[in-house]
Structure 1
């Protein structure tokens, strides 16, 4: 199919109308914005610098708030206007409420963590009836609670410090838990000693009093109170956010909208008294765009064909039929064509489908693939490969019918063909190896000739007569390659000798010489001066290029041997599955066949798919396609599916 024709749209007006004009372009959904300065060289000299976005800081402030649980930009609608002051006032009001709650919640969370840790530590003091409040509130003694390795108890005795005492209350997991006591004067020295002994201090809340058991009861009560407080604060925060959710969603959507508007302004030319906005619209959607543009009073809109200049490359929107449309993802993977180039999607779709069927021919497995692709295509969340799977599955089934292969059983269809009088079918791979090898090379040769023909047509449309006539993928290359093929076919399958003097001179030597002298001949045809180089450099470079051309014809054609190779590979793998199934019992045999078919479908199907894509890119596209175009991307505000901010 072709490439969607476009119109170059130019919009002008006073600077005050730029934002409404951009809004109209956004609403149309069919406008691809271009940098006006690139299309109008020299016009940037009088242009003003981009205007600062008054909403940029507000958007940063908004995203700094932890609001992802209630903000849904898709729940709001476009069309309303909000001043920066209105947005700032509401954000500050909501932020003040949330900030106070957040501070209280943080304090409660810290206490919850502290109390939980204290409860864990006090478990090690259950064996004492000492009043912890009195111990911790001593004035003339420094008291610290914690643990240290049990082996450090003996090391502590070696210090022989009368003003340092460690009292162990529990030994657990190679640690001694307890208090160490020291005098205020010796506190620094004692801390150093205990640190050397790997003592870890654990904080006990100041309000603790009574025995450890009583203290744990008080701690549990305090912990529950803090948990209730934290829960109530969370509920209060949720209530505030739910009450403000609609306003917040509207604000966020509007901020994203204004952010996009000011980003698009940088692509426009703005002077003191006017602006210029340029872009492309598909001809089929021109009426829809006009309706949106006419709503903005005071702007002037003009429509013209894209300029015929190599310096300006319009975007590309592929126009494909229903069969080839899913394969456009492969074209985009390689690169889109130039606007005035050739849309290779249909060529790729047809050749990919046929080659896959040839390499993975199995009636049963092909139908399973087609059904899987059809079912996946029915899902709401579309899978791009699903329609491709349906097409190549049908192709695999068709060629599997010709091969007589049904889930690896090679002779199930023999009686069918015999009864209808087609005894030459099925074509069993292992019985016709020569046919498949020669056929694979022949298919490759035909596809290469087709690619060269396409390249000739494309080059002639571009008026690139030098490459179209004298290039290795031009007329001379076609004649030379076809002549070589003719010689090979006659040598292998007939007794005809084509290597006569007229044949060799006219169809081999002369085309090769024209490819050798393609630069001066091309300059002559184009009526352009030739770039002069030394005779030695000219001969050397063109000799090796012609040698590379010949080598390329051979290697590209031989690459298609893999088509026949994968036919044998598939038959070989399935024969292994059948042998394994015969070795098993009756019940296990069916399981082996099912698992074997699934394994071959997944593994070989994936490998064949990749290999066919390689043939498309390296053996076909390399001869007729460059893929240097840029995609047609209508401007739009990309509202996120889900919102996630950093708190």
Structure 2
């Protein structure tokens, strides 16, 4: 559970979960389970030792030893169905729903005429679930969280734009951790834009995002939830392209607002490393918050991805700024801060060992690894500039070839147009793939490795839609 030492606004954390008990008359257990399955926001505890019920056995007979046959999705009948009729008519969807219901019912605790099940429910959904259960004669009761048990994690959903797939692809954050979906999504599209800076290419990505949002082409419909990434990446690429003066390459149609990548590579490399240092500092700060919320102030203070690591990194940044700006006092203050942070990291590493000489040796090796990784992770962001230069060089090559052919006269214009179209398509596809993969690599290895120290368990609510309309439920 989240620790009380560092409360944060709900928008910065996963959805707040409540431990609940579903209490209903024994005769109304099936009705209550159908209603819970229909709401789709309660995760019920499951008992693995329960054997297959009548519906599960019939479903297995239909499917046979070769595996399930093609069938519709699982559904639940509002009233108890005739299982023999469902088997005769091979109604695998309804049988699958009944099999799931039997499994959940098998985990119920029965005391006299009352049945009870335990589970998890988002705090904001409690009134709706309680109202649905009340119609079946039951109640939803809050329970204390068992000692040593963490609630499941549900990152905050969004009806329109969500970057949660980026986080869940890496893993499930612990329930006590911050919800990094939006910051991680914005960092991803910013890094992509730096590597793919071109107004024309970015506009193509925006058109692709719009088509994906509208479900076109249909064969890509399963990827529709990724349209925010595509749209954000396209917009970031257009902004970076405007700064670079790139429109399908250095065509001269746009002025250079900041720098031309091929003319100022060192400046672009420096800017990329500085950008990466800022991102890593924010990741260290978020990691420090997570360590405190996971294990308290003591655990957060000594962790390399906690407060100690943050002090070390900020000290190094201050040293670099002081040396670059020729401010000795800033460099000295930064060195002092960095040494203090490193000492705290060393103490935390030593406390995790068995002590003695072996513990000191192990601490030294791991401390060296922390220092090296800090430097390499920061310099790793130079790839933003490197791949941005590659993208600009390919676009420049295509444009030079196009203008070279066109300069031979009207007879060569068709060839120039073909070269421009094919070259742009090839460079667009190659660089979009490279930029997407590299931004993902930086997100996972440089940023998320500081945010997450432990992995949580995803919230898996039980949801089976009713076969009949909602108003078909009996009233009590």
Normalising by structure 1, report the TM-score: 0.62
Q: State the partner residue of 1:443.
A: 275
Give runs of aligned pairs for residues 161-310 of structure 1, distance below 5 A: 248=89, 251-270=91-110, 275-297=115-137, 299-304=138-143, 307=145, 309=147
Q: Residues 400 and 308 from structure 1, CA distance in 2 versus in 1: closer, same or farther, beyond 3 angstroms? A: farther
**Do 2:74 and 2:464's aligned partners in 1 also have CA atoms closer than 8 Å?**
no
Matching of residue 609 in structure 1 with residue 436 in structure 2:
yes
**Do 2:166 and 2:185's aligned partners in 1 also have CA atoms closer than 8 Å?**
no
**Do 1:10 and 1:301's aligned partners in 2 also have CA atoms closer than 8 Å?**
yes
Q: Which residue of 492, 496, 501 maps to 2:327?
A: 496
Q: Which residue of 19, 22, 27 maps to 1:8?
A: 19
CA drift at 1:61: 3.9
Q: Which residue of 308, 314, 325 maps to 2:151?
A: 314
Query: Aligned-pair RMSD on alpha carbons?
Result: 3.2
Please give the per-residue CA displacement for 1:247-289, whole angstroms capped at 9, x wherever unaligned. x37x444322221111223443456765431112223322321
**Do 1:50 and 1:265's aligned partners in 2 also have CA atoms closer than 8 Å?**
no
Q: State the partner residue of 1:29.
A: 40
Alpha-carbon distance in 1 for matches of 2:94, 2:239: 55
Secondary structure, aligned partner of 1:366: helix
Please give the per-residue CA displacement for 1:210-253, whole angstroms capped at 9, x wherever unaligned. xxxxxxxxxxxxxxxxxxxxxxxxxxxxxxxxxxxxxx37x444
Which deviates the most, 451-460 or 391-400?
Answer: 451-460
Which deviates the most, 378-387 or 361-370?
Answer: 378-387
Matching of residue 564 in structure 1 with residue 385 in structure 2:
yes
Give runs of aligned pairs for residues 111-122 of structure 1, distance below 5 A: none
**Do 1:413 and 1:426's aligned partners in 2 also have CA atoms closer than 8 Å?**
no
Aligned residues: 443
Alpha-carbon distance in 1 for matches of 2:159, 2:72: 34
Q: Which residue of 213, 231, 235 maps to 1:377?
A: 213
**Do 1:324 and 1:349's aligned partners in 2 also have CA atoms closer than 8 Å?**
no
Alpha-carbon distance in 2 for matches of 1:352, 1:502: 33
**Do 1:32 and 1:281's aligned partners in 2 also have CA atoms closer than 8 Å?**
yes
**Do 1:36 and 1:276's aligned partners in 2 also have CA atoms closer than 8 Å?**
no
- Rg bigger for which structure? 1
Alpha-carbon distance in 1 for matches of 2:442, 2:20: 40
Q: Residues 590 and 18 from structure 1, CA distance in 2 versus in 1: closer, same or farther, beyond 3 angstroms? A: same
Secondary structure, aligned partner of 1:7: strand
Alpha-carbon distance in 2 for matches of 1:15, 1:301: 15
Q: Which residue of 342, 364, 374 maps to 1:543?
A: 364
Which deviates the most, 2-11 or 356-365?
Answer: 2-11
Q: Residues 597 and 266 from structure 1, CA distance in 2 versus in 1: closer, same or farther, beyond 3 angstroms? A: farther
Give runs of aligned pairs for residues 452-467 of structure 1, distance below 5 A: 452-467=284-299
Q: Which residue of 564, 584, 587 maps to 2:414?
A: 587
Alpha-carbon distance in 2 for matches of 1:387, 1:63: 39
Q: Residues 544 and 73 from structure 1, CA distance in 2 versus in 1: closer, same or farther, beyond 3 angstroms? A: closer
Q: State the partner residue of 1:186.
A: none
Alpha-carbon distance in 2 for matches of 1:631, 1:385: 20
**Do 1:467 and 1:473's aligned partners in 2 also have CA atoms closer than 8 Å?**
no
Q: Residues 602 and 277 from structure 1, CA distance in 2 versus in 1: closer, same or farther, beyond 3 angstroms? A: same
Alpha-carbon distance in 1 for matches of 2:160, 2:136: 41
Q: State the partner residue of 2:471.
A: none
Unaligned segments of structure 1, at least 5 residues: 38-48, 92-247, 418-424, 521-529, 641-647
Q: Which residue of 333, 354, 357 maps to 1:533?
A: 354
Q: State the partner residue of 1:555.
A: 376
Secondary structure, aligned partner of 2:184: helix
CA drift at 1:460: 2.8
Alpha-carbon distance in 2 for matches of 1:21, 1:352: 44
Q: Which residue of 423, 427, 431 maps to 2:263?
A: 431
Q: Residues 466 and 58 from structure 1, CA distance in 2 versus in 1: closer, same or farther, beyond 3 angstroms? A: same
Q: Residues 639 and 410 from structure 1, CA distance in 2 versus in 1: closer, same or farther, beyond 3 angstroms? A: farther
Secondary structure, aligned partner of 1:50: coil
CA drift at 1:32: 1.4
Q: State the partner residue of 1:95.
A: none
Secondary structure, aligned partner of 2:101: helix
Q: Residues 469 and 576 from structure 1, CA distance in 2 versus in 1: closer, same or farther, beyond 3 angstroms? A: same
**Do 1:357 and 1:398's aligned partners in 2 also have CA atoms closer than 8 Å?**
yes
Which deviates the most, 460-469 or 495-504?
Answer: 495-504
Q: Which residue of 348, 354, 357 maps to 2:190?
A: 354
Q: Residues 448 and 509 from structure 1, CA distance in 2 versus in 1: closer, same or farther, beyond 3 angstroms? A: same
Matching of residue 487 in structure 1 with residue 319 in structure 2:
yes
**Do 1:516 and 1:546's aligned partners in 2 also have CA atoms closer than 8 Å?**
yes
Matching of residue 518 in structure 1 with residue 353 in structure 2:
no
Q: Residues 484 and 55 from structure 1, CA distance in 2 versus in 1: closer, same or farther, beyond 3 angstroms? A: closer
Q: State the partner residue of 1:391.
A: 232
Secondary structure, aligned partner of 1:280: strand
Alpha-carbon distance in 2 for matches of 1:461, 1:84: 50
Normalising by structure 2, report the TM-score: 0.83
CA drift at 1:28: 2.1
**Do 2:273 and 2:379's aligned partners in 1 also have CA atoms closer than 8 Å?**
yes
Give runs of aligned pairs for residues 47-126 of structure 1, distance below 5 A: 50=50, 53-63=53-63, 78-84=77-83, 91=88
Secondary structure, aligned partner of 2:378: helix
Secondary structure, aligned partner of 2:15: coil
Please give the per-residue CA displacement for 1:496-547, whole angstroms capped at 9, x wherever unaligned. 335977764x323333222212267xxxxxxxxx778342022111111111
Q: Residues 60 and 514 from structure 1, CA distance in 2 versus in 1: closer, same or farther, beyond 3 angstroms? A: closer
Alpha-carbon distance in 1 for matches of 2:54, 2:333: 79
Alpha-carbon distance in 2 for matches of 1:76, 1:266: 19
Unaligned segments of structure 2, at least 5 residues: 1-10, 406-411, 468-476
Q: Residues 554 and 54 from structure 1, CA distance in 2 versus in 1: closer, same or farther, beyond 3 angstroms? A: same
Alpha-carbon distance in 2 for matches of 1:283, 1:502: 46
Which deviates the most, 256-265 or 431-440?
Answer: 256-265
